Structures are given as structure tokens and as C-alpha cells.
Amino acid sequence: MTNVTVFIMAAFTSPENIGTDPKSMLWLLPITTAVAVVYKATKLQTITWKNFIKEVTTLIGSIAVFLIITALVLYVFAWFTTE
């Protein structure tokens, strides 16, 4: 087994270091992308790359905007109830 293979396999045996800071919320982006890609792949009648990318980008954008608005509303609510 080559060193590269061992290195790749070892990366899957110990967890990454992820804190509880706001930066960790960025892990939402890959999962949002996955949901958008699979959803559009199942919903579109015919898949042409140009149209598919456009549809996926729009869906990722709308999910992200919705999440940001929800986070802001929750933040304001928490701020009012704790101040």
C-alpha cells in the first residue's frame, strides 16, 4: 500500500477538529448543495448542463437566504428574550 493510500485512509479514522464557533455553520453549504443537486436531478424532466446548473444555483441561493433569514429572526428573538 502506498503512502498516499495510507494517508487517505487514516484521514477517515479520526474526526476533524470542528469548534462551536459561527464559522462551523459554513458546514451547511456542502449539505445544501447536495440537497439541491439531488432534488433537481430527480425533478427535472430533461437534464441539460446549462439549465441544471442554473436551477441548482437558484435553489442553493434560496435555501441559503431562507437559512440566513431564519438565523437572523432567531438571533433577534434570543436577544430580546435575554436582554
| Residues within window 3-62 making contact with other proteins, judged by CB under 8 A | 11-20, 24, 27, 30-31, 34-35, 37-39, 41-42, 47, 52
- For the purposes of burial, counting CB atoms within 10 Å of the CB of 3, is it exposed (0-12), middle (13-18) or buried (19 or more)? exposed
CB of 37 to other proteins, least distance (A): 5
CB of 27 to other proteins, least distance (A): 6
Query: For residue 35, how many other CB atoms are within 10 A of its CB?
Result: 13
Residues at the site binding other proteins, with contacts judged by CB under 8 A: 11-20, 24, 27, 30-31, 34-35, 37-39, 41-42, 47, 52
